[in-house]
């Protein structure tokens, strides 16, 4: 097995002792096929046990190990070392406050996620005896792609609008709202409208498409947001130009 020498420049921050974050260099030798997360694990095990970062599954499913690698939001478990040359710079996800080293404070995202009510609100409640809610493959296809989000927040780190206007609900949360709005079993679209159709909702998005470029699961949040914009626009015209449609 061939080995390679890797130099990592990791942003360190300890709130108890440091005034501000600073880079620390680690030089290691590692197998050719390692990803950045392997290198971090190796550093923590045998070089510097004080290094802090989040990870869990090591297979792009849990969404915990998102970080900036050479300035680009990536899952550390999907970022192969052999794809980089020179010093690899590893920083916590952009646009989030740092808790410690590569660990960020994600309260803002968690709060926004709750606000869009990302759960199924059945249109017509059914008793258990009445059986399951059935769905055709075509109905499933309308939202399936948007169910693949793993809440890794790479899209928030990539989104220039979220960086400018932290109130923006943001790509992942709005895509999840869209996922339930598009579900034939769901009747909660009106309940989500106040958040989705708000200025801080889809209307803060200027469609740079950065979210879809960095999404490791190919959810395409930008598409979800544009589709919601069209639906919000139709709603708006109906509400303001056709008042006789009001229930």
Distance between CA atoms of residues 41 and 35, nearest Å: 10
Distance between CA atoms of residues 171 and 204, nearest Å: 10
Restricting to residues 128-167, name those near other proteins by CB under 8 A. 160
Minimum CB separation from other proteins for residue 198, in Å? Answer: 4
Among 118, 201, 216, 221, binds other proteins (CB under 8 A): 201
Per-residue tokens: 79: 């970022």
Distance between CA atoms of residues 114 and 12, nearest Å: 31
Helices 189-196 & 221-241, crossing angle to 10 degrees? Answer: 100
**Which among 80-88, 92-100, 172-180, 192-200 is the span making contact with other proteins, rule CB under 8 A?**
192-200
Q: Based on the shown chain and the rule CB under 8 A, indicate whether residue 195 belongs to the binding site for other proteins.
A: yes
At residue 67, the 3 state secondary structure works out as strand
Among 193, 209, 223, 227, binds other proteins (CB under 8 A): 193
Q: Based on the shown chain and the rule CB under 8 A, indicate whether residue 83 belongs to the binding site for other proteins.
A: no
Which letter, b or e, does each residue of 208-243 get, where b requires 16 or more Cβ atoms within 10 Å of its Cβ? ebbbbebbbbebbbbbbbbbbbebbeeeeeeeeeee
Restricting to residues 213-232, name those near other proteins by CB under 8 A. 229-230, 232
Q: Based on the shown chain and the rule CB under 8 A, indicate whether residue 198 belongs to the binding site for other proteins.
A: yes
Minimum CB separation from other proteins for residue 164, in Å? Answer: 8
Among 99, 139, 200, 217, binds other proteins (CB under 8 A): 200
Token pair 């070392």 is found at 81
Q: Based on the shown chain and the rule CB under 8 A, indicate whether residue 194 belongs to the binding site for other proteins.
A: yes
Q: Based on the shown chain and the rule CB under 8 A, indicate whether residue 47 belongs to the binding site for other proteins.
A: no
Interface residues with other proteins (CB under 8 A) are 160, 193-195, 197-201, 203, 206, 208, 229-230, 232-233, 235-237
């Amino acid at each position: 097995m061939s080995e390679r020498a890797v130099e990592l420049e990791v942003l360190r921050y300890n709130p108890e002792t440091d005034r501000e974050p600073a880079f620390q260099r680690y030089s290691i030798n590692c197998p050719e096929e390692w990803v950045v997360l392997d290198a971090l694990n190796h550093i923590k095990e045998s070089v510097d046990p004080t290094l802090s970062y989040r990870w869990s599954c090591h297979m792009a499913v849990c969404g915990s190990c998102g970080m900036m690698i050479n300035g680009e939001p990536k899952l550390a478990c999907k970022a192969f070392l052999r794809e980089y040359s020179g010093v690899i710079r590893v920083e916590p996800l952009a646009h989030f406050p740092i808790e410690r080293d590569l660990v960020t404070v994600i309260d803002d995202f968690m709060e926004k996620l709750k606000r869009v009510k990302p759960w199924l609100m059945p249109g017509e409640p059914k008793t258990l005896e009445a059986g399951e809610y059935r769905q055709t493959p075509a109905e499933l296809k309308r939202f399936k792609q948007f169910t693949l989000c793993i809440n890794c927040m790479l899209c928030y780190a990539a989104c220039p609008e979220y960086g400018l206007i932290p109130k923006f609900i943001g790509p992942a949360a709005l895509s999840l709202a869209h996922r339930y709005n598009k579900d034939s079993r769901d009747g909660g679209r009106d309940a989500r409208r106040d958040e989705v159709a708000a200025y801080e909702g889809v209307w803060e998005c200027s469609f740079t498409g950065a979210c879809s470029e960095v999404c490791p699961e190919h959810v395409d949040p930008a598409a979800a947001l544009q589709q919601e914009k069209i639906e919000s626009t139709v709603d708006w015209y109906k509400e303001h130009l056709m008042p006789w449609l009001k229930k």
